[in-house]
Copies of this chain bind each other. A is one copy, B any other.
Amino acid sequence: MINFEQILSNVRGNVPLVHNITNYVTVNDCANILLACGGSPIMSDDAEDVEDITSICGGLNINIGTLNKNTIPSMFLAGRRANELGHPVLLDPVGAGASKLRTETAVNLIRDVRFSVIRGNISEIKALAQGTSSTNGVDANEADQVNAANIDSVISFAKSFSEQTGAIIAITGPTDIIVDKSRTCLIRNGHPMMSKITGTGCMLSAMTTAFVTANPEDPFEAVCAAVIAMGLCGEIAHARLGELDGNSSYRNYIIDAVYNLTAGQMEEGAKFEIL
């Protein structure tokens, strides 16, 4: 249903140059996973620099993880320029709901910038849609967790948020929910230990930007493929863990798995349904 072969070979053949305005916690991992998947990273967050840099790139990844008074204006400048140029733009609203500054910045960004993709955990996406909320730091609240009982209402909520913003909405967690106006994809790849590494969400956002940039003909499938790839690599890397390995080696093995990922592995290992 999803042409993994084509999507992967577009990323590796086109080598999408991705401009990242991202947090300094996980930035190195974001750069390395972009290289691992076949893209090319560039980081720039000064207001005087971002428009030039976005102009030479193919896509833009905005992550508010360590936003500050200097980088917030840069997010708007880069986002608007990317819109003018027709480049895909992804928003990762890290910690939306955890502070007024984060929630307001994310809300203002979706007002001013047309995003192709918004990716976050369920608490962040709710905070963003409602303009207020409380999250458990950068992780999803337990009260917000998606389960069999509430998944239909989460999908409805995501669809309506997608209609409102025009963006593909990717709510990631144990079950990932990807929606656009007409389609829904549920993905069940991944491993619980991924939550024991900082930056799996940030890395996924960076990689998703590369996938969408290299696959303009069907961004929805590109997002699904990126989310599947990340989850599957979490599984592959977990199978590789030795007795003495912990979360630091796991992080390396996940990026390694992305580097070595084949369409065959994706065809065999993908656990998804398109509704």
Contact = CB atoms under 8 A, between A and B. Distances in A.
A66 to B, nearest CB: 6
Contact of A31 (B25, B67, B69): B25
Q: Copy number of this protein in the oligomer?
A: 3
A8 to B, nearest CB: 15
Contact of A48 (B46, B52, B69, B137): B69
Contacts of A99: 44, 49, 52-53, 56
Question: How many of chain A's residues touch chain B, expressed as a range?
Answer: 35 or more
Nearest to A42: B137
B246 A255 contact: yes
A139 B40 CA distance: 9
A51 to B, nearest CB: 8
Interface in A231-275: 240, 244-249, 251-260
Contacts of A156: none
B36 A98 contact: no
Nearest to A55: B99
A255 to B, nearest CB: 4
Given A70-B70, A99-B44, A197-B32, A257 B252 contact: no
Given A17-B137, A40-B139, A70-B69, A255 B248 contact: yes
A198 interface: yes
Contacts of A248: 32, 36, 251-256, 259
Given A17-B137, A24-B27, A69 B43 contact: no
A190 interface: no
A173 interface: no
A124 to B, nearest CB: 13
23 contacts: A17-B136, A17-B137, A23-B43, A24-B24, A25-B28, A25-B41, A26-B31, A28-B28, A35-B196, A35-B198, A40-B137, A40-B139, A43-B65, A46-B68, A48-B100, A52-B98, A52-B101, A53-B95, A244-B257, A246-B256, A248-B254, A248-B256, A248-B259
**Which 3 A-B pairs rank lowest in CB-CB distance, beginning with the nearest?**
A246-B259, A246-B256, A52-B99
